[in-house]
């Protein structure tokens, strides 16, 4: 008899802390036969997988070595064909720059059942951790999620006008190394150089750090900070509302705090 095909779950691991997983994500990880995880998934989350689970690191971290998407697709297919429950574990939310659409299309076209399990994305984690809203009445009526580069290639040239809207909050992913060029484009598109801006390293984790500045000042401040972890950039009036344990001046690096 032919072997019954397994299934694949594309699961959002959130920003790193296990207590920010959804219950559905936790159950998926605990029920995995095979776990394909991205480089940004924390050891704390990986420890939730069953002891007998096959765990494979697929990379996918900016400026570092990573497994090709075609290889990941083939691996998911091969494991599912063995009848396994495969969890493709992604940092943040699979639907926010997580290539979930490509993977759903690939698997569905080959008859593999696939499910997407959402997760907390970095911008939401940063906003919660440092007590600022992403939208705010009278200040931010729109939220724009953007990435600085497409497919790891050169800086995206068009579309910056949406982030230059003074009523928009821009959450920029994978922009740490391109911040100066991106902010120049936003200013050229009409956003005021004095617009508040934040860089949050390791959003959602206990070791998260917050860097305050403006469109004009933040690139140099971030270069001086030289973060080693993933960074999400927040641009807009809401950024001025960020809080931490101490009230400090622009350009200061602040540790995370626990909101009570």
Specify the pairing of strand 168-173 against strand 231-235: antiparallel
Residues 229, 134: one domain?
A: yes
pTM of the model: 0.88
pLDDT tens column, 197-248:
999 999 999 999 999 999 999 999 999 999 999 999 999 999 999 997 333 3
Give the active site residue among 38, 76, 90, 93.
Answer: 38
Catalytic (active site) residue 90: no
| Domain range enclosing 244 | 122-255
CA distances from 15 to 125, 128, 250 (A): 7, 12, 25
Q: Is residue 159, in this structure, part of any structural domain at all?
A: yes
Provide the pLDDT confidence category of residue 249 given band limits of 50, 70 and 90.
Answer: very low
CA distances from 256 to 130, 133, 247 (A): 7, 16, 13
pLDDT tens column, 86-96:
999 999 999 99
Q: Is residue 44, in this structure, part of any structural domain at all?
A: yes
CATH code, domain carrying 109:
3.40.1010.10
In the chain, how long is the greatest CA-to-CA distance? 69
Residues 106, 179: one domain?
A: no
Give the active site residue among 19, 33, 60, 165.
Answer: 60
Residues 104, 213: one domain?
A: no
Give the active site residue among 33, 90, 93, 174.
Answer: 174
Sign of the Cα pseudo-torsion (45, 47, 52, 58, in order):
positive
Contact 220, 250 (CB under 8 A): no
Q: Which residue has the tokens 């009523």?
A: 167
Nearest to 38 by CA among 97, 81, 101: 97
């Amino acid at each position: 008899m032919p072997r019954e095909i397994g299934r694949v779950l594309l699961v959002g691991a959130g920003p790193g802390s296990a207590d920010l997983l959804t219950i559905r994500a936790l159950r998926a990880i605990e029920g995995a036969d095979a776990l394909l995880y991205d480089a940004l998934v924390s050891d704390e989350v990986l420890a939730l997988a069953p002891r007998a689970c096959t765990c494979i690191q697929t990379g996918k971290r900016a400026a570092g070595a990573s497994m090709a998407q075609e290889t990941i697709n083939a691996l998911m297919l091969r494991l599912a064909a063995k009848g396994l429950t495969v969890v493709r574990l992604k940092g943040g939310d699979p639907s926010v720059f997580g290539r979930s659409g490509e993977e759903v299309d690939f698997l569905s076209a080959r008859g593999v059942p696939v499910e997407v399990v959402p997760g907390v994305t970095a911008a939401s984690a940063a906003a919660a951790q440092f007590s600022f809203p992403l939208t705010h009445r009278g200040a931010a009526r729109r939220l724009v999620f953007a990435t600085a580069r497409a497919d790891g290639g050169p800086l995206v040239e068009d579309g910056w006008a949406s982030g230059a809207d003074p009523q928009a909050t821009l959450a920029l992913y994978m922009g740490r190394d391109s911040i100066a060029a991106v902010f120049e484009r936003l200013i050229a598109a009409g956003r005021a150089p004095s617009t508040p801006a934040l860089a949050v390293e390791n959003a959602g984790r206990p070791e998260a750090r917050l860097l305050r500045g403006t469109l004009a000042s933040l690139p140099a401040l971030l270069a001086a900070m030289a973060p080693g972890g993933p960074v999400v950039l927040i641009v807009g009036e809401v950024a001025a509302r960020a809080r931490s344990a101490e009230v400090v001046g622009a350009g200061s690096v602040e540790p995370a705090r626990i909101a009570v």
